[in-house]
Amino acid sequence: MRDRNLWNHSCAEQFDAPILDADLTADLLIIGGGFTGCSAALEAEKQGAKVVLIEARTIGFGGSGRNVGLVNAGLWLPPDTVCQRMGQAAGERLNTTLAEAPDAVFSLIDEHGIQCEAIRNGTLHCAHSKGGLDDLITRYEQQLRRGAPVQLLDAAQTAQATGTDVYYGALQDMRAGTLQPLGYVRGLARAAAQAGTQIFENSSVMQLGFSGDWLARCKSGSVRAKSLILATNAYHTGFRGAESVRMTPVNFFQLATPPLPASLLNEILGQHQGCWDTGLVMTSFRKDKAGRFILGAMGLPDRMGIHENWARRAMARLFPGLKDQSFEFFWSGRIGMSVDYIAKIQRLGERGYSAFGFSGRGIGPGTVIGRSLARAVLNGDETALPIAPIDAYQDKLRVAKGLWIEAGARAIHFTGAR
Ligand SMILES: Cc1cc2nc3c(=O)[nH]c(=O)nc-3n(C[C@H](O)[C@H](O)[C@H](O)COP(=O)(O)OP(=O)(O)OC[C@H]3O[C@@H](n4cnc5c(N)ncnc54)[C@H](O)[C@@H]3O)c2cc1C
């Protein structure tokens, strides 16, 4: 099936910017036009800075315009694990910041009138097995201890909420919701541009250096700035001064049906909640505003159609009423996994930072980390950052791990849902 991204098709926010073809100066240069870069730009404008944002392709070309659109309150990891990996105080600080991240996202949407199909009806983490349910119970207890508005649904309640009876139960989180991700990132870019940010698209940074100021060169222009935020995450193109992507690449694909017939619309996800499951090779499903059913899973679309054929079987298993339903859209994206599944902030030099490794949780985290990075870099104060910056980052096994994950996804999808 040809690559066709639903979010490009259904995006109500339009955004266009020129190519950089001049030599500019700024207080803050941002490289990368996803959630992190656009949120940073918007915040920097609030701080009164002169901002230039450079995007290699178009706003939302990376993970921000390809994702599932689940606005979650936290990371993949349960909150206690975050504390074990980061230390109690640092972990709890990040947990608290990310618990409030959906508030930040939905208030920006309201404040700037961003048209992105935002719905805040909670999300459902669904147990695909008894072991999966045990995992959800642990997560539930940890979230409850932190006062989160979560509820553990039994199998019957889950079936009622989702319209499928294949799950053992689900963890419902009412802080969370769904949105049209490309609409959200374009809306952030529009708001930043309206506030004064000069945004350039189709302008790939080819060289970056520092000598008193940061200097980024593109093919037909350059930007000199006092401060820098590098926000290219898994879509980093690699250039002199910042050579390569350093995270484990994990691919995730999605397929979307045409709008469902009225007879199925209320039966399947009647409350429009976004869902994902506890499977090792995770599956996601949700609907969009037009009533399309969207199914996603880990995997890189392959010529043999392993993932696509699995998706047809999986959809029919979840919702027998969709057995003969065709797919109209099919697209994929690259997730940047960090070594410990916790996002990183790295110092690049004087007044320069990079944020990366969102590990599949970037809508809320990218928004709040971008915002706090803008404050930190402009005020010269790192203490308010939700993650302590590091000076170096390495994952030597990243290529092997990426291949291993893809091989596992293919093996599971080849045999699964039969
Ligand atoms: C398929 C998929 C599903 C996901 N689902 C979810 C979800 O449901 N919920 C959630 O919270 N998160 C999800 N994520 C994660 C989330 O989408 C990412 O963490 C987030 O988009 C990262 O945002 P970013 O701004 O840091 O990077 P990106 O959005 O990737 O933006 C980086 C930008 O940098 C640009 N760039 C690269 N190199 C250069 C250069 N040399 N010069 C100029 N620009 C450059 C790229 O073109 C790109 O547009 C998912 C990710 C994927 C891929």
State yes or no: pLDDT of 11 exceeds 80: yes
Nearest to 311 by CA among 270, 250, 268, 252: 252
- The answer to whether the CB of 278 is under 6 A from ligand 1 is no
Q: Which of 6, 43, 68 to mutate to test the pocket of ligand 1 (most atoms within 8 A of CB)?
A: 68
CA of 356 to the centre of ligand 1 (A): 9
pTM attached to this predicted model: 0.97
CA atoms within 13 A on the CB side of 375: 11
Average pLDDT over residues 268-287: 94
- Percent of the chain whose pLDDT exceeds 70: 99
Beta bridge partners of 293: 287
Q: Whose CA is nearest to atom 15 of ligand 1?
A: 360
Kindly give the number of the ligand 1 atom that is closest to the alpha carbon of 72.
11
Instruction: State whether the beta carbon of 55 lies less than 6 angstroms from ligand 1.
Output: yes
CA distance 257 to 281: 22
Q: Report whether residue 233 contacts ligand 1, using a CB cutoff of 6 Å.
A: yes
Q: Say how many Å lie between the CA of residue 233 and the centre of ligand 1.
A: 6
pLDDT at residue number 241: 85
Query: Are 27 and 378 spatial neighbours (Cβ–Cβ below 8 Å)?
Result: yes
Rounded-to-integer distance, Cα 393 and Cα 391, Å: 7
Beta pairing, strands 283-287 & 177-178: unpaired
* pLDDT above 80 for 245: no
CA distance 71 to 76: 12
Q: Is 49 in the pocket of ligand 1 (CB under 6 A)?
A: no
Test site for ligand 1: of 222, 358, 367, most ligand atoms within 8 A of the Cβ: 358
Q: Whose CA is nearest to atom 3 of ligand 1?
A: 67
Give the three-state DSSP class for 50. Answer: coil
pLDDT value of position 182: 98
Using pLDDT thresholds of 50, 70 and 90, give the confidence band for residue 52: very high
pLDDT (0 to 100) of residue 303: 79
Apex CA 246: angle with CA 7 and CA 28, to 5°?
Answer: 70
CA of 333 to the centre of ligand 1 (A): 8
**Ligand 1 pocket member 357 (CB < 6 A):** no
**Residues 98-152 pLDDT 10s:** 999 999 999 999 999 999 999 999 999 999 999 999 999 999 999 999 999 999 9
- Burial class from Cβ neighbours inside 10 Å (0-12, 13-18, 19+) for residue 151 reads middle
Contact by Cβ (8 Å): 246, 398: yes
Q: pLDDT by residue (tens digit) across 359-374?
A: 999 999 999 999 999 9
- Asked if residue 32 lies in contact with residue 205, where contact means CB atoms within 8 angstroms, the answer is no
Q: Say how far apart CA 317 and CA 296 lie, in whole Å.
A: 14
* Per-residue tokens: 278: 């506890």
62 lines ligand 1 (CB under 6 A): yes
299 lines ligand 1 (CB under 6 A): no
Q: What is the pLDDT of residues 21-46, one digit of tens each?
A: 999 999 999 999 999 999 999 999 99
For residue 232, is pLDDT > 70?
A: yes
Q: What is the mean pLDDT of the chain?
A: 95
For the chain, list the domains and their CATH numbers.
6-122+175-415 (3.50.50.60)
> Tens digit of pLDDT for each residue in 54-66?
999 999 999 999 9
Residue 1 has pLDDT above 70, yes or no: no
Atom of ligand 1 nearest to the CA of 276: 8
The pLDDT, as a whole number, for residue 386 is 97
Rounded CA separation 418/165 (Å): 17
In the predicted model, is pLDDT for residue 278 greater than 70? yes
Residues 54, 255 contacting (CB under 8 angstroms): no
Pairing verdict, β 150-154 and 169-173:
antiparallel
Distance 357 CA to ligand 1 centre (A): 10
Interval 288-320: pLDDT, tens: 999 999 999 999 888 788 888 899 999 999 999
Round to whole Å and give the CA distance between 333 and 80.
29
Does the beta carbon of 202 lie inside 6 Å of ligand 1? no
Helix axes 363-379, 35-46, angle to 10 degrees: 40
Q: Ligand 1: which atom is nearest the Cα of residue 60?
A: 49
Coil, helix or strand for 14? coil
